[in-house]
Amino acid sequence: MKSLSCIAVLSLLALTLPLAIASDPSPLQDFCVGVNTPASGVFVNGKFCKDPRIVNADDFFSSVLNRPGNVNNAVGSNVTTVNVNNLGGLNTLGISLVRIDYAPNGQNPPHTHPRATEILVVQQGTLLVGFVSSNQDGNRLLAKTLNVGDVFVFPEGLIHFQFNLGRTPAVAIAALSSQNAGVITIANTVFGSNPAIDPNVLARAFQMDANVIRDLQNRF
């Protein structure tokens, strides 16, 4: 009997563990259109739910990805995001979408999504993409050159990047396994924190002169 009980417990854990580690909780209703005010609402997954009786098709619609983003910036790229913050119908659904525009030689610099896996498809141009595995895996770089229609996956939480190899603009669409995946751009976070990290800490971490670190911090 005791072994049967152990098997039952293990079976239950096997069934429930995938749900427990999912990026976003599973919804318990048809939809929960996110609103920022509590009037006649219930707080779910970081948003109040709009009264379902007044939900309409526009709560599930966005056309922002039709427009190219402004790539006239230091990195030569622009990420246009459709997530729960600008499309309330995504609340509790565990997905979001981005359009990434790249100038020639533009890049989406090394960054991570703390709450989502990303799958990217190239719509225009040629991209060099890749991610770096964790310390436990030896920080291996897994990189690939992608052409139109090619797909690449970036596992949740790992540092990844995209770079436009071509002499013409490039465009990619990416889906993420969270309604609000979050983003941590490595250079901005390390060298542009507020307040700034002590340059001596970074100098030792990167094995660089502290004056070089201060110069980098001034750029961010």
Q: List the 160-164 sheet strands across, edge first.
A: 141-146, 127-132, 160-164, 107-112, 184-185
Task: State yes or no: 160 annotated in a binding site.
Answer: yes
Both structure tokens of 158 = 């790992």
Task: State yes or no: 164 annotated in a binding site.
Answer: no
- Biggest distance spanned by C-alpha atoms of the chain: 70
d(CA 106, CA 102): 5
Task: State yes or no: 180 annotated in a binding site.
Answer: no
Give all strands (DSSP E) within 83-117, no chain letters.
96-102, 107-112
Q: Are 183 and 112 in contact (CB under 8 A)?
A: yes
Q: Which residues are annotated as a binding site?
A: 108, 111, 113, 118, 160
Q: Which residues are annotated as a binding site for Mn(2+)?
A: 111, 113, 118, 160
Q: Which residues are annotated as a binding site for oxalate?
A: 108, 113, 118
